[in-house]
Amino acid sequence: MTVSYTLRVANARFGGFSALLFRWRGSIYKLLYKELLVFLGLYGILSLTYRILLSPEQKRIYAQVARYCNRSADLIPMSFVLGFYVTQVVNRWWAQYRSIPLPDRLMCVVTATVHGDDERGRTLRRTLLRYANLSSVLVLRSVSTRVLRRFPTIEHVVEAGFMSQEEKQKFESLHSDFNKYWVPCVWFTNLAAQARREGRVRDDIAFGLLLEELNQYRGKCSLLFHYDWISFPLVYTQVVTIAVYSFFAFCIIGRQFLEDPKPPLKGQEGPLGDLDLYVPLTTLLQFFFYAGWLKVGTKRPFGLKVSPGEGNQLVSVSLLSV
Amino acid sequence: MTVSYTLRVANARFGGFSALLFRWRGSIYKLLYKELLVFLGLYGILSLTYRILLSPEQKRIYAQVARYCNRSADLIPMSFVLGFYVTQVVNRWWAQYRSIPLPDRLMCVVTATVHGDDERGRTLRRTLLRYANLSSVLVLRSVSTRVLRRFPTIEHVVEAGFMSQEEKQKFESLHSDFNKYWVPCVWFTNLAAQARREGRVRDDIAFGLLLEELNQYRGKCSLLFHYDWISFPLVYTQVVTIAVYSFFAFCIIGRQFLEDPKPPLKGQEGPLGDLDLYVPLTTLLQFFFYAGWLKVGTKRPFGLKVSPGEGNQLVSVSLLSV
Amino acid sequence: MTVSYTLRVANARFGGFSALLFRWRGSIYKLLYKELLVFLGLYGILSLTYRILLSPEQKRIYAQVARYCNRSADLIPMSFVLGFYVTQVVNRWWAQYRSIPLPDRLMCVVTATVHGDDERGRTLRRTLLRYANLSSVLVLRSVSTRVLRRFPTIEHVVEAGFMSQEEKQKFESLHSDFNKYWVPCVWFTNLAAQARREGRVRDDIAFGLLLEELNQYRGKCSLLFHYDWISFPLVYTQVVTIAVYSFFAFCIIGRQFLEDPKPPLKGQEGPLGDLDLYVPLTTLLQFFFYAGWLKVGTKRPFGLKVSPGEGNQLVSVSLLSV
Amino acid sequence: MTVSYTLRVANARFGGFSALLFRWRGSIYKLLYKELLVFLGLYGILSLTYRILLSPEQKRIYAQVARYCNRSADLIPMSFVLGFYVTQVVNRWWAQYRSIPLPDRLMCVVTATVHGDDERGRTLRRTLLRYANLSSVLVLRSVSTRVLRRFPTIEHVVEAGFMSQEEKQKFESLHSDFNKYWVPCVWFTNLAAQARREGRVRDDIAFGLLLEELNQYRGKCSLLFHYDWISFPLVYTQVVTIAVYSFFAFCIIGRQFLEDPKPPLKGQEGPLGDLDLYVPLTTLLQFFFYAGWLKVGTKRPFGLKVSPGEGNQLVSVSLLSV
Amino acid sequence: MTVSYTLRVANARFGGFSALLFRWRGSIYKLLYKELLVFLGLYGILSLTYRILLSPEQKRIYAQVARYCNRSADLIPMSFVLGFYVTQVVNRWWAQYRSIPLPDRLMCVVTATVHGDDERGRTLRRTLLRYANLSSVLVLRSVSTRVLRRFPTIEHVVEAGFMSQEEKQKFESLHSDFNKYWVPCVWFTNLAAQARREGRVRDDIAFGLLLEELNQYRGKCSLLFHYDWISFPLVYTQVVTIAVYSFFAFCIIGRQFLEDPKPPLKGQEGPLGDLDLYVPLTTLLQFFFYAGWLKVGTKRPFGLKVSPGEGNQLVSVSLLSV
């Protein structure tokens, strides 16, 4: 779920940002704590092994391995790979979000063009909007796991009142390998044409406006569907994932504290050795940066848990207010 | 607040830029002076502690810690993290600014399409524009703290003349978990349809134009609302904040002046030691760059204190001139 | 082919990403395994030569060459060159994908504006859509190798029912050095004008809507054709390819394990030498990053194997549902 | 001023680019020569001071300072800061340029829709276009110093024939804190409505077209005005300026030639010392890159001296040709 | 000329890319071979001078100079400067390409809206399209050297049949400092209005559609003209050119093979010296990357040799098919 935190930032003055650092919901800690535990676990096991089990000769060899890993980690072009990937993914996410079909514009046009205060008029308007909503529900089902959980089968869609039983039969009699979200749009067009014939839609221009608005609505459904269908090339995802995984694998080995092979002679001050911190602080920070960056980029629910909530609520809103 | 300073730059010739450096309002100094004082305070305390309190042996250990921190600071990918974040945020800001609904286009169309120089005609035009303005006020209230401060309750909106008491009741009888900015748009549509029936809007094409313009206006309200509702993912904000904070924490420790552990022997010229500057000049510059970059990126009022002023003024402008 | 893997990611929770790493279809392994074998082969041959065939003096010279190659590899601005190229190519790809003409919007408008439940009405609608589909088939033939394989000649297009024999003659009597995808659009316009004269399209506005929609459809065909016609400048492709090839050539030579020229004296512990890994792990990772990045960027089928499947299915969909 | 130099490049073949290097008008040399003289002056003074005035002990201390400055200069993230800033500014500039309202489209529509070859018809068309031009003159006055210099007061606008005396009074009777560029657009609308009533605009569709075109024209005026009103955040400009200034301050101190503290003993060849170039060639190049980059980015006349020339000429063009 | 090479890539499987490396037409080798020869010549002369003419003392001094140049070359921010420049230029190029006015959309609308199978109808349609084509020829003449070479004077345009002698006189009687590409658009409008009066354009909506399409066509002409008129700021071009030139100047001096100043004593193995390659392989690669990158970016014909071919062919296509 996208978590709204702007209000908190808005009121933030001096130091206000630190408050944001300690939120849990939607935060980086919640996102990463499992991976972090695994990472720390592996690091700790290796650290203990090195300190307790290894003989001095083995430690010497381990130092070679660690040095090799450190140099390797530097050769992985993390910023380049992650920067490209995350920019693409975030832009995609926002474009996807903006292509969620909102029924309010259509609602406005239906209200303005389909006349009649009698039952027939109200039914017409409601049915038209129901078709539009049905179309977006059908798309959202294939795009969002949340909507799919709420409407696991077409039967659930019927129960929720988005479809009548006859419509369901008509819908299911049409066979297509693809999502049939466009079927209710055709129904919409037919019903609108009928309303025009009945004189409920008074003139051709209003009818044209209605069709155009539907076309835009439909275009958004289609775009959303294609964004979902055409994934970002798997190869890039694999490259990024391999890069991040191998970077941290190298870190686990290479960022261990290494004992100085040559202890200073007695009575003589040795050179400044490395600091034994036990916890690899810097590496942990890098873990947060890189793994967090990647995780958000690849978490699909991030992009799409957005839609259901909004979808549902906007759907009901539009039905209420006609 | 966005501060207009282009005029000053325009007249700037040789050296003109230096003048910009000494402005206070909207400047980086005003933005950062509190954080800067904290930073300098912490740095100073640590510096004094090191110089006065620590024993030579402790200084040796501190040198290890400082070296560790310095290396850690280098490992934080500041440019990458900040660059991505700030680019995204600034683009968002500008897109948001451009989606502020300006009533002037709508005003133009209403003037041109709703005829009649009598009282009824004038009332119609004014009411239509009032609805449009009301819609943007409702959105701006939820988006801008300034507008919210001016209109803390719906009652204030009524008092300012954007809504009548009956409209308020109608408005409040509609229940929705969301901002109901779209309700006045529905009223607008209904009133426009009525004007069409009365013949005040002479033909279907003018009516279509009116509806289309309203739809665009409404689209902008909706976009503004969604920009506000869907925050930029919290995780990125946290990653950036952790990066900047930890960078400066490392700097406070690692950029201290360290005494040379081995003073030169008498009669022999020692190697060139580090310069003891007392004030960490370079680090302060980095503080300005990175903290300023981040602060502007995350300061919400930056993006949205823009709107109210403009909103109000344009709102009144459009009411005056119908 | 673009491989949909989002569903798997969606369900991925902890560690879920590792599953993605072991997919074969559409994966980086499938993409690169041949190149990888060549790379490893060359590396191995050189490694064996060095270890077995070279005399100590030759090894000394080889060390010089290797050092030179290593420094050279560092001087190649891989991130810069690849980053620019791949960003451009991926953006192009997505723009191209989005310009694939989908007949569904046009279908919707045709359904709504061309009236008549009799045979003539149905024929009209079907013929109009057939022309639109024919236009996109003609473009896709020149853009996608897959579609071309399915329709190697115009005769195949006729057989598939997209074109009648008379239309084929008319089509072939028009001579042009360019793809004649726009010819069916002209037919469409003529037929629509005729339908307007017959009263099948009831009013001018509907007719205008129809023309506008066709124009957009045609605009997409045209855009797709131009994207294909105007390749990304060859020079950039060559620069990138030279960069990647020479980088790996340098790596094959420079990343070999080199024996320490001065073995430690007896009884004295030598300094930490390099680790002899036999397999150049880091270089392999870089191979995956850089070669994978490039390969995806330049693989044309990646961008366009998309279209045929979709094209065909949507084409049949639109014919079924009129 | 934007200087057209493409023709010269077009004819450039081998070595043709060198010719571009020696142009003065609009060139980097003209842009920077004052700053360059200051920079060289300061560098020279410091150089002389070091070489002549300082004692060996002071030179030793200076060497420390210089080393510190050199390291500091390396820590300033010039590419990051400048890259972000200049990209934003250049994109803004181009967007601004594209939002300059050109009256030619409007002219075309007015010609096509407002009929009548008699005096009245011609007056109508001319007045409509005059209003449109007036609107853009009003915007350009507040945006471009050049246009402002040509029309310092509204009286000058009247004299140039863009406004009649009565219109001026009407214009000035309207009070607003903002630029009133939209007032002539309202006049345009009113006059167009009157022309419609008189039958000069024959049908509603033509009238709608006219209004729509005006709305787009007005939208461009509005956009131009807002681009000017909402400056790019001052903080970024300050950050960039501080970065560039402090970078060059560090360079002046740190890039001086330093004498080798330990002259080689007699009879023994010393190690390779630094080269004493007297003129800091590399630093001068960096000065050109960074200061030129920044200066172009911040020079407002660059962006806006464009408009007046074009504005004026297009304005007169459009009046001539109606 | 833009060279289509996608077909070859499409069929490329394993190793297929290497084929692309050996193409000559439109390739990097053709683009750079002259510059390369100059570069190699200078390098060779300097190399011979160093090896043959210089005394050991002079070689010592040369070594100092070379070291200085090497360090200077590293300080030039090539990636930053080139990256920014080339991205901007390539984006401009593609935007320019997309703004080439293609007459096919207009052709489609003219066919659909201007009725009449008699001579008059055909003449009308042809004349309208001729005007449109004339407009684009006039723009392309000022934008593309190729089109200018084909139509050096207006007389040539008349001869090619785009303009009648009377039209030429009318055209030349209008004086303007600017390209008068918009004049045929005005003629188009007038002729279309006449056709409407004659009833050849049957209804207002069709007429509106026609005007709108013309306006878009004209907008593209205008955009193309402005892209050409407003060059990318000269300062950036100069900065980039200076950067690349000075980089290679430094390389010619600094990347020479330098003899080891201290030959190893007899009987003792010297340290690993540099490898004497005679040909500066790495520098050549960098030459290809950077100079090729720049050259493509600044080659104007690259961007605009595109247009004429296409322009001409599409122009004739549209005339053939009306």
Q: What is the DSSP string of E85-99?
A: HHHHHHHHHHHHHHT
Q: What radius of gyration, in Å, describes the C-alpha atoms of chain B?
A: 29
pLDDT at A5: 46
Per-residue pLDDT of chain C (322 residues; tens, 9 = 90+): 334 444 444 343 444 455 566 666 667 777 788 888 888 899 999 988 888 888 888 888 888 888 888 888 888 888 888 888 888 888 887 888 788 887 777 888 888 888 877 888 888 988 998 999 899 888 888 777 777 888 888 888 888 888 889 999 988 887 776 778 888 888 898 899 889 888 888 777 888 888 888 888 888 888 888 887 776 777 788 888 888 888 888 888 888 877 765 554 554 554 555 667 677 888 888 888 888 877 766 654 333 333 333 444 444 444 444 4
Contacts of B23 (CB under 8 A, 6+ apart): B5, D234
Of B72, B190, B211, the CB nearest to A209: B211
> Comparing C-alpha atoms, which of B4, C185, C92 is closest to residue E98?
C92
Residue E317: closest C-alpha in chain C: C176
Chain D residues with CB-CB distance to B302 below 8 A = 233
Three-class SS state of C155: helix
Spatial contact of D208 and B207, defined as CB atoms under 8 Å apart: no
The angle at the Cα of B269, spanning B267 to B270, to the nearest 5 degrees, equals 120
The DSSP H or E segment spanning E171 is helix E165-173
**C-alpha–C-alpha distance, residues E304 and E140, integer Å:** 9
- Residue D289 CA to residue D291 CA, distance in Å, equals 6
DSSP assignment of C70-109, as one string? HHHHHHS-HHHHHHHHHHHHHHHHHHHHHTSPPTHHHHHH
The pLDDT, as a whole number, for residue A199 is 86
The pLDDT tens digits of the residues spanning B237-292 come to 888 888 888 888 888 888 887 776 555 455 445 455 566 767 788 888 888 888 88
Pick from C293, C307, C308: nearest CA to C88: C293
Cross-chain Cβ contact E218/D286 below 8 Å: no
Q: Which one of D70, D85, D282, D298 makes the best mutation probe of the E interface by having the most chain E beta carbons within 10 Å?
A: D282
Per-residue b/e over B166-183, b at no fewer than 16 CB within 10 Å? ebeeebeeeeeeebbbbb
Count CB atoms within 10 A of the CB of residue D164.
12
Of B6, B206, B274, the CB nearest to D208: B206
Of residues C294, C185, C228, C237, the one with CA closest to residue C95: C228
**HSE of B186 in the Cβ direction (CA atoms, 13 Å)?**
18
Q: Which residue of A has its CA nearest to B69?
A: A282
- For residue D280, list chain E residues with Cβ-Cβ distance below 8 A: none
- The closest of D171, A90, D189 to B92, measured between CA atoms, is A90
Q: In sequence order, what are the residues at sequence separation of 6 or more whose Cβ sits closer than 8 angstroms to the Cβ of residue D125?
A: D110, D111, D114, D322
What does the radius of gyration of chain E's CA atoms come to, in whole angstroms?
29
- Chain E CB contacts of C178 below 8 Å: 313-314, 317
Find the CB nearest E293 among C219, C226, C239: C239
- The answer to which of B144-158, B159-173, D253-267, E102-116 has the lowest mean pLDDT is D253-267
Q: From CA D169, how far away is CA D164, in angstroms rounded? A: 9
Residue E296 three-state SS: helix
Separation CA D106–CA B276 (nearest Å)? 69
For chain D, the C-alpha Rg in angstroms (whole number) is 29
- Kindly state the percentage of chain E with pLDDT values over 90: 2
Distance between CA atoms of residues E160 and C266, nearest Å? 92
- C206 touches E96 (CB < 8 A): no
**Chain B: touching chains (3 or more CB pairs < 8 Å):** A, D
Cβ distance B81 to A289 less than 8 Å, yes or no, reads: yes
pLDDT of residue B319: 44
Token pair 């960098």 in the structure block, residue = E286
Model confidence band, residue E232 (pLDDT cutoffs 50, 70, 90): confident
Please give the pLDDT value at position A26: 66
Q: How far is CA C313 from CA B314, C126, E150, E234, in A?
A: 51, 16, 46, 51
Among candidate residues B114, E191, C275, B306, the one with its CA nearest the CA of residue D111? E191
Does residue E6 register a pLDDT over 50?
no
Spell out the residues 6+ positions from residue C25 whose beta carbon is closer than 8 angstroms to its own. C3
CA angle B256, B261, B264 (to 5 degrees): 120
Q: How far apart are CA A86 and CA C10, in angstroms?
A: 17
| D264's tokens | 């080689």
Give the minimum alpha-carbon distance from E270 to chain C in angstroms, rounded to a whole number.
11
- What does each C-alpha distance from A88 to A243, B306, C6, C91 come to in angstroms? 17, 29, 15, 9
- pLDDT for E288 beyond 70: yes
Beta-ladder partners of B201: B114
The DSSP symbol for A102 reads: P
CB contact under 8 A, E285 and C76: yes
Q: Which of E57, E64, E238 to mutate to test the interface with D (most CBs of D within 10 A)?
A: E238
**What is the ipTM metric for this complex?**
0.78
Label residue D301 by pLDDT band (50, 70, 90).
very low
The per-residue pLDDT for B21 is: 65
B209–D208: do the CB atoms touch at under 8 Å? yes
- pLDDT, position C273: 59
- Sign of the alpha-carbon dihedral angle for B23, B28, B33, B36: negative
Q: Which residue of A has its CA nearest to B239?
A: A289
CB contact under 8 A, E272 and C88: no
CB–CB contact E234 D97 (8 Å): no
Q: What's the pLDDT score for residue A118?
A: 86
Strand partners, C47: none
Contacts E313 to C, Cβ<8 Å: 176-178
E193·D115 Cβ contact <8 A? yes
The one-letter code for the residue type at D95 is: A
**Closest by CA position to D282, among listed E67, E71, E82, E239:** E71
CB A193 within 8 A of CB A182: no
Shortest distance between the Cα of E134 and any Cα of chain C, in A, equals 21
Q: What residues in A contact B229, CB-CB < 8 Å? A: 4
- Taking CB atoms and an 8 Å limit, are B237 and A20 in contact across chains? yes
Q: What is the pLDDT along chain B (322 residues), one digit of tens a residue?
A: 334 444 444 343 444 455 566 666 667 777 788 888 888 899 999 988 888 888 888 888 888 888 888 888 888 888 888 888 888 888 887 888 788 887 777 888 888 888 877 888 888 988 998 999 899 888 888 777 777 888 888 888 888 888 889 999 988 887 776 778 888 888 898 899 889 888 888 777 888 888 888 888 888 888 888 887 777 777 788 888 888 888 888 888 888 877 765 554 554 454 555 667 677 888 888 888 888 877 766 654 333 333 333 444 444 444 444 4
Global pTM value: 0.79
Mean per-residue pLDDT for D216-232?
Answer: 81
CA pair distance B227, B232, nearest whole angstrom: 9
pLDDT at D39 over 70: yes
Predicted local confidence at residue B7, as pLDDT: 43
pLDDT of residue C209: 84
The tokens for D207 are 């009238």
CB < 8 Å to D177, chain B: 313
Instruction: List beta partners, residue C201.
Output: C114
Choose the mutation target among B197, B235, B239, B253 for the interface with A, i.e. most A CBs under 10 Å. B235
Q: Which residues of C touch E317 (CB under 8 A)?
A: 176, 178
Query: Could you tell me which residue, A38 or D296, shows the higher pLDDT?
Result: A38
Give the residues across from E117 on adjacent strands. Answer: none
Cβ atoms of C241 and C235 within 8 Å: the answer is no
* Best residue of B139, B238, B245 to probe chain A, by most A CBs closer than 10 Å: B238
Q: What percent of chain D has pLDDT over 90?
A: 2
Place of tokens 């004007």: B195
Number of other residues whose CB lies within 10 A of the CB of residue B55: 8
Please give the pLDDT value at position E91.
83
C-alpha dihedral (A148, A152, A154, A156), degrees to nearest 10:
-110
Please tell me which of the candidates D21, D31, D115 has its beta carbon nearest to residue E241: D21
Do the Cβ atoms of B94 and B302 come closer than 8 Å?
no
Q: How far is CA D314 from CA D59, D127, D179, in A?
A: 64, 16, 22
Q: Cβ of B20 and D238 within 8 Å?
A: yes
Q: Which residue has the tokens 């007015």?
A: D110
State CA E249 to chain mean position distance.
26
Q: Pinpoint the alpha helices (H) of chain B.
A: 6-11, 16-21, 28-48, 56-75, 78-98, 104-113, 119-143, 145-150, 154-159, 165-173, 183-198, 204-229, 234-254, 281-286, 292-298, 300-304, 306-320
Residue of chain C whose Cα is closest to the Cα of E280 = C72
Contacts of B228 in chain A (CB under 8 A): 6
**Closest among C47, C140, C66, C67 to C101, alpha carbons compared:** C140
Task: Tell me which of C67, C90, C218, C235 to substitute to probe the interface with E (most E C-beta atoms closer than 10 Å).
Answer: C235
- CA–CA separation, C297 and E68 (whole Å): 39
CB contact under 8 A, B189 and A295: no
What is the block-wise mean pLDDT of chain A (322 residues), using blocks of 10 residues?
41 48 70 85 90 86 86 83 82 81 81 84 89 88 78 86 89 78 87 88 83 87 80 78 87 81 51 66 84 69 37 44 40
Q: Hey, which residues does A201 pair with through a beta bridge?
A: A114
D12–chain B nearest CA distance, Å: 33
